[in-house]
Amino acid sequence: MPETAPPPDDLAGLSLAEIATRAAERKLPPVETWNPSRTGPSDMRIARDGTWFHEGSPIGRAPMVRLFSSILRREPDGSHVLVTPAEKLNIEVEDAPFVAVELKTEGKGPARRLAFRLNTGDMVVADATHSLRFESREDGPHPYLHVRGGLEALVVRSVYYELVELALDENAAPPGLWSEGAFFPLEPDA
């Protein structure tokens, strides 16, 4: 899992209610309704650590990455595209297009709420729609958070360890966590 430094805006000063409000207010373009006939490569990729590249060079401007992330879509075949009303461009994604870099939690057991900040600055509250899942691989567990439309965020190792510590403190069987009334076992998908 990547160790990505979080952007300067953190969750520490926000309540979970404020985080949920901000996440709900984020207006995204209706990319799922756009089906342009002009297609091609974007010469872009998103590295496993969440770094966006264009023609082999990292994109250093955070507002540009945030803009591109707002027009990102996952296709039914699992590929990723950047889509506008005029064109649809393929983009290579090494693992997940987003990285969950920070966690804030309130409550316990079924009353718990888990909020995540992504490397793009977006905020996601885990719930039945924004689920957590865990994959087991040779190099260890890979936790993911569903962001939107089949797009996921890889949870960084430090945040994963926070989740594990919270789950162990709750003694649930199987080990897992609640958020917004949904239970997420820490066991890998079958």
Cα–Cα dist 158/177, whole Å? 16
Write the CA distances from 101 to 76, 89, 121, 122, integer angstroms.
27, 27, 9, 10
Cα–Cα dist 103/113, whole Å? 10
Cα–Cα dist 99/36, whole Å? 28
Cα–Cα dist 183/1, whole Å? 23
**What stretches of the chain adopt beta strand conformation (E)?**
38-46, 52-54, 57-58, 72-74, 80-83, 87-93, 98-106, 113-118, 123-125, 132-137, 140-148, 151-155, 176-179, 182-185
Question: Can you list the domains of the chain with their CATH numbers?
Answer: 28-93 (3.10.540.10), 97-185 (2.30.270.10)
pLDDT reported for residue 8: 43
Beta bridge partners of 72: 82
List, run by run, the mean pLDDT of 10-residue segments along the chain (190 residues). Answer: 45 59 67 92 96 96 92 96 95 98 94 95 95 92 95 97 94 90 84
DSSP state of 27: -
pLDDT reported for residue 25: 59
Radius of gyration of the chain, Cα coordinates, nearest whole angstrom: 17
Task: Please give the angle made by the CA atoms of 16, 3 and 166, to the nearest 5 degrees.
Answer: 45
